[in-house]
Homo-oligomer: A and B are copies of this chain.
Amino acid sequence: MKGFKFQGIAAGIKNNGKKDFGIIYSENPASAAALFTTNKVVAAPVILGRKRIKKGLCQAVIVNSGNANCFTGEKGIKDAAETAKIAAEHLGITEDLVMVASTGVIGAPLPMDVIRKNIPFLTENMGQNFLGDFSEAILTTDKLSKISEKKGVIRGKEFSVTGVAKGSGMIRPDMATMLAFVCTDVEIPADMLKLSLKQGCNRSFNRISVDGDTSTNDTVLALANGASSAVVKDNQDQVIFQEILNRVLLDLARMIVKDGEGATKLAEIIVKGAASADDAYNVAEAVAHSNLVKTAIYGEDPNWGRVVAAAGRSGAALNPDKIDLKFGDVFLVEKGAWAGEDAEKKAARVMKQDELKIVLNLNIGNFSDFFVFCDFSENYVKINADYRS
């Protein structure tokens, strides 16, 4: 992908010696669009970012892990702005073209001495091939780096979309402790980019769940620098771009769930036949967030009663006598009747796989929705009981 450089280093913000400080740099000011957390408690970089994104231009992104710069008051906002300012000086660009993002522990001030000391090295050692280093530098409890790259063609011109993300806990729709950065060399106006990003997130990051908590720092930022000769001019071009973008975002979203804290399995709940779009969403959301469903999946127990009970408490219209429920290809409930012990035995075998698809048809309407989520193991508890100690 053309015109982007990256870097990621261990600056010493984390105390475990791992990478914690990174940069994305575009050779020219890129069209930019972003989505931020819906949490009312927001981190300083989000406050700054909301302002800066308005003009739809961005050339560099500075990201640190190990410290969320959240609940840090006026000082936190100053620290975020100073980080951007120092980076801008070293990069020789204007300050308002730099965005910042942070992830990590809430409450502690950003270690500005470490930040100041490391910006020169970071900005002087960028390269096209350091995306992997950047992807490591933004991780917290993640076990794996998350990168997805896809290519498309608009009017005979090839373009790339590369996404990089972090996040494995505090994951829930409407953004979670999740940072995602999308770089593309397509040329697209900022307002079209924003629309595409929103649509893409609604079918990816807003349809995943690890633990039902929403973070204070979530940010999805897209940069389009036009370094390829592919240009998004009209709706038809945008459809092509959207498809490639969606694939990158859904890829990243699934990687986040797969790397969910303590996760051993990836699951998908597909709701069909709901009476309204809201009902379809609410049922999928209730099932994906049910600790009892998640522990049953972990235990490879085809405990379909928990799926039905979660649907029942979702608030959606439903008639128990009409429900069909499948685990993989195995019907466990057909027209509201239990399929019996043999079906459960078959379903138990399906559940031994790494990925599970649950299809719940309410059979009372035409609306569908889905959620991708993970199971819930003892390790989730271990990770989160020990996070700061």
Which residues of the partner chain B approach A312 to less than 8 Å between Cβ atoms?
39-42, 214, 216
Q: Which of A292, A337, A389 has the most CB of B within 10 A?
A: A292
Q: How far is the CA of A213 from the CA of B382 in the complex (A)?
A: 22
Which of B106, B216, B296 lies in contact with A385, CB distance below 8 A? B296
Interface of chain A residues 347 through 389 with chain B (CB within 8 A): 376-378, 380-382, 384-389
Q: Kindly specify which of A84-92, A119-127, A222-230, A299-307 makes contact with the partner chain.
A: A299-307
Verify B305–A107 contact, CB threshold 8 A.
yes
Which residues of the partner chain B approach A42 to less than 8 Å between Cβ atoms?
312
Chain A, residues 35-73, CB within 8 Å of chain B (1/0): the string is 000111110000000000000000000000000101111
Which residues of the partner chain B approach A238 to less than 8 Å between Cβ atoms?
none
Q: Kindly specify which of A10-18, A152-160, A241-249, A313-321 makes contact with the partner chain.
A: A313-321
Is A170 interfacial (CB 8 A cutoff)? Answer: yes
Which residues of the partner chain B approach A291 to less than 8 Å between Cβ atoms?
211-213, 291, 380, 384
Verify A295–B385 contact, CB threshold 8 A.
yes
Q: Could you tell me how many residues of chain A have their Cβ less than 8 Å away from some Cβ of chain B? A: 63
Is A169 interfacial (CB 8 A cutoff)? Answer: yes
Verify A321–B39 contact, CB threshold 8 A.
no
Chain B: minimal CB distance from A165 (Å): 20
Verify B381–A298 contact, CB threshold 8 A.
yes
**Stoichiometry, copies per complex:** 2
Verify A313–B211 contact, CB threshold 8 A.
no
Chain B: minimal CB distance from A256 (Å): 16
Which residues of the partner chain B approach A115 to less than 8 Å between Cβ atoms?
none
Verify A320–B71 contact, CB threshold 8 A.
yes
Which residues of the partner chain B approach A317 to less than 8 Å between Cβ atoms?
40
Is A130 interfacial (CB 8 A cutoff)? Answer: no
Which residues of the partner chain B approach A384 to less than 8 Å between Cβ atoms?
291-292, 295-296, 299
Q: How far is the CA of A380 from the CA of B377 in the complex (A)?
A: 9
Residues in A lying within 8 Å of B, measured CB to CB: 38-42, 68, 70-73, 105-108, 169-170, 172, 211-216, 289-292, 295-296, 298-299, 301, 303-306, 308-313, 316-318, 320-321, 333, 336-338, 376-378, 380-382, 384-389
Would you list the 5 A-B pairs with minimal beta carbon distance, nearest first?
A106-B305, A299-B385, A41-B312, A295-B384, A378-B378
Q: List 30 interface pairs A-B (beta carbons < 8 Å), by A numbering.
A: A38-B313, A40-B311, A40-B313, A41-B311, A41-B312, A41-B318, A68-B305, A71-B308, A71-B320, A71-B333, A73-B336, A106-B306, A106-B309, A107-B305, A107-B338, A108-B338, A212-B212, A213-B290, A213-B306, A213-B313, A214-B309, A216-B305, A216-B309, A291-B291, A291-B384, A295-B385, A298-B381, A301-B387, A378-B378, A381-B381
